[in-house]
Structure 1
Amino acid sequence: MTTCPNRAAPPLAPPAVLSARPYRPRATARDHRAVAEPRRPRHPRTACAAGPGPDPRGGLSTRFAHRLVEVLTGSRPSGQLLRHTTLDCYGQLSALVRAGTLRGTRGGERPRLGPVHDRSPAPDAVEACVRVDLGGRHHMVAFRLEPRGPSGQWQCTAVEAR
């Protein structure tokens, strides 16, 4: 079959009309946050290499402090922190729980945590302490976090409460 160059091509189907509005990509909440907030460095070790300073890990010590106080007051079982502590530290934590260091409230009063004060004395360590108000008494809880194991997961290596 041969085609004739003078012959017109068959008409194409008309394009489908989707919308009268022009296409504009939607801005997501993530896009707005990226513009509003400066980006944090992906590797915090470079941020704290200059010397001691506050915890650059974005609240790691604050989150751990809340969970630790919940375990010490008996709101959570101590086994929930097993994978977040070293074996020696878990022994210290179990001894504090057995001694009832942060227990003794009669009315089921919830502990109130003050601000978590943390410092990074080395690029691979964070030391923190928090004041806990419980039953009209003030307690202090201190702990140390370090990356451990082949994955470098942050774990608690020491804990003390008074």
Structure 2
Amino acid sequence: MTVRFTARPTAHPHRRPRDADGCDPAGRRPRHPRAACAASPGPDSPGPDSGALAARFAHRLVEVLTGARPSGQLMRHTSLAGYGQLASLVRAGALRRGGPADRPRLGPVHDRSPAPDAVEACVRVDLGRRHHVVAFRLEQRGPAGQWQCTAVEAR
């Protein structure tokens, strides 16, 4: 019995070819999962991705405040002071549900950037017949520039 080895193609058939620097032939860079958080917004005007960042965090924050998500899941996304504020809001039941059928509905997230590495946002949350407002501040921290929640308020 004779076994023949055939040469494998050098490129994956479903992937676009890349240059040595990681660009495809059109000159576009590959998208990294955290690319949305990499852009720095200008002073007093939110960057193109700060609104999406604030909306994603607002959704997760409201889930924690209503008890649908454990608060420990946001621990690595908050500073020590921010987590302390979040934990006290959860203990106090800042966003209590009226019943099991009451699902939180988030209004539009309003955000602004007071500094290039900070985003302040607020969102209206409707829980049945009750309305609440949640405000928070996100800051880029650490050598990797990870966004962390440094302050939370709910009324």
Aligned residues: 127
Tell me how large the CA RMSD over aligned residues is.
2.7
Match 1:100 to one of 61, 85, 93: 93
Structure 2 unmatched ranges of 5 or more: 1-13, 17-27, 29-34
AA aligned opposite 1:144: R
1:11-160 superposed matches below 5 A: 44-45=39-40, 48-49=41-42, 51-57=43-49, 59-160=52-153
Query: Shift of the alpha carbon at 1:42?
Result: 9.2
CA distance in 2, matches of 1:92, 1:44: 27
TM-score w.r.t. structure 2 length?
Answer: 0.73
Runs of 4+ in structure 1 off by over 2 angstroms are 40-45, 54-58
Question: C-alpha deviations, 1:102-123, integer Å up to 9, x for none?
Answer: 0131243100000000001110
Question: C-alpha deviations, 1:75-106, integer Å up to 9, x for none?
Answer: 00000000000011101000000000101312
**Distance verdict in 2 for CA 1:74–1:55, change over 3 Å:** farther
Query: Shift of the alpha carbon at 1:144?
Result: 0.3
**Distance verdict in 2 for CA 1:55–1:74, change over 3 Å:** farther
Percent identity, please: 69
Structure 1 unmatched ranges of 5 or more: 1-25, 29-33, 35-39
